[in-house]
Amino acid sequence: MSAFSDPFKEARASSGVMQCPFHGENITMVLRHEDVRKAAKDWETFSSDVPFRVPIPSEEDVRSMRQLPIETNPPEHTDYRAIAEPFFQRAKDPEMIAKVETLLDAMLTEALSRDSIEIVNDFALPIQSRALTYLLNTSESEADTWIGWGIHVFKVTGGEFKKGTVLEDYLTAKFDEVEANPGDDFFSALVSADYRGRKLSREERMGFANLAFAGGRDTIIHTISCALGHLAEHPEALEFLRADPKRITLASEEFFRVFMPLTHIGRVCPQDTNVNGVTVKSGDRISLCWSSANFDESAFPQPDEFRLDRKPNPHLSFGFGTHLCLGAPHARLILRTLLKLCCDRVKRITIVKAEERVEHEAKFDRTLGYDSLVVKIEAL
């Protein structure tokens, strides 16, 4: 897979920015590692308090509520984040770690029993969905519904984008349910949560839940698929990890650095702002280009080399600063567990058929992993 392509290298080395049209909006992309980190911390100059405009392209056409806490600034962001954080920290609990290990072990057993398996839809998607039930402390049977949505929560796979998505319909029904019969799950916690002396509105609850599904779904599915694809293309990588499982932690971070699923994220300038010589007008957006920053030579020696023992590895795949990804511990748990199980149980992975997914934009093309990946997994 051409995952090591770096379409931003030339612009990053020259001006450090690149202007690119996205759905009719010309956005200045910030490309250098240090510039991206500075901008991510400077929420007053580069604001997230912009409903629907943090993702690029914007999402006015596919959702009807502000995502929380990501589309807010401090101090509101700080108070909103405190509501959701306890659930996302569950990924560090021994009980949840054990459940994730059991889940992945069972999924791998099934894969080993078959002549071949399609990884994106039949392996990574079920893992992501079932592990999310553990994180949100809801019934694992809920995962069957989530798996049925396919890879993208803003449309049924193969369907068209539309406002009032299948996700929003599901969440509306879910909040009706837990308001009548609250439990110990994430949705019930949002109903009972206190925000500055008041309960959250239905729209605020929907914003939290919307992000819980949309934020980590593609990331985990993408990372699982790319990791297995890489181990198939580079069998020596699996042997390297098997020789010393302590290498898995560093290797995981290199997978996250190289196989960054989210190219960038948006911020809006409340005032006219000079960004590396480019004037961004008040109300216009910039892009914090995580994927470019992850290949910046000033932060990563030989960034085009995949180094399973890279250290240090200050990648920005989980963001930086105030909006550091809440789901990072969850993603790390899943990938590290998968790599350990592969070391313990897998002799070889062979690609049978692969369909790459490529992001096509006016100024760049970027490989984003796989639309489909069929592999044969052989047991030790």
CATH number of domain containing 153: 1.10.630.10
Query: Which pLDDT belongs to residue 163?
Result: 53
What is the C-alpha to C-alpha distance for residues 187 and 200, in angstroms, rounded to an integer?
12
The residue type at 74: P
Helix (H, G, I), strand (E, B) or coil at 327: coil
d(CA 80, CA 98): 29
Q: Where are the beta strands (DSSP E) in 174-264?
A: 194-195, 198-199
What is the CB-side half-sphere exposure of residue 337 using CA atoms within 13 A? 25
Q: Residue 22's beta-bridge partner residues?
A: 25
In a domain, 143, yes or no: yes
- What burial letters (b/e) apply to 208-223, b meaning 16+ CB within 10 Å? bbbbbbbbbbbbbbbb
Beta strands in the chain (DSSP E): 17-22, 25-30, 117-118, 194-195, 198-199, 265-268, 273-275, 278-280, 285-288, 346-360, 365-379
Greatest distance between any 2 Cα atoms in the chain: 60
Structural domain count, the chain: 1
pLDDT attached to residue 157: 43
Structural domain includes residue 378: no
Distance of CA 178 to CAs 57, 82, 187, 191, 204, Å? 33, 21, 7, 8, 15
Q: How many CA atoms lie within 13 A of 1 on its CB side?
A: 30
Residue of 256, 4, 2, 232 lying closest to 117 (CA atoms): 232
Residue 345 lies in a domain: yes
Pick the closest to residue 309 from 365, 246, 352 (CA basis). Answer: 246
pLDDT at 63: 87
Please identify which residue in the block is written with the tokens 């989530």: 146
Q: Look at residue 246 and tell me if it is in a domain.
A: yes
> Strand 265-268 to strand 194-195: parallel, antiparallel, or no bridges (unpaired)?
unpaired
Query: Which residues form the domain of 216?
Result: 9-371
173's enclosing H/E stretch is: helix 166-180
Residue positions counted in the chain: 380
Give the span between the Cα atoms of 355 and 377, in whole angstroms. 18
Give the C-alpha separation, 324 to 81, whole Å: 11
Can you give the pLDDT at residue 70? Answer: 97
pTM of this prediction?
Answer: 0.95
Task: Name the amino acid, one letter, at 287.
Answer: S
The answer to the question of residue 99 being in a domain is yes
Strand partners, 274: 279
Instruction: Write out the chain's pLDDT in tens, 380 residues.
Output: 655 679 999 999 999 999 999 989 999 999 999 999 999 999 999 999 999 999 998 988 888 899 999 999 999 999 999 999 999 999 999 999 999 999 999 999 999 999 999 999 999 999 999 999 999 999 999 999 999 988 877 754 444 545 557 888 899 999 999 999 999 999 999 999 999 999 999 999 999 999 999 888 888 999 999 999 999 999 999 999 999 999 999 999 999 999 998 999 999 999 999 999 999 999 999 999 999 999 999 999 999 999 999 999 999 999 999 999 999 999 999 999 999 999 999 999 999 999 999 999 999 999 989 999 999 999 99
CB count in 10 Å sphere of residue 325: 18
Q: Return d(Cα 167, Cα 263) in angstroms, integer.
A: 23
Position 4 in a domain: no
Domain annotation covers residue 226: yes
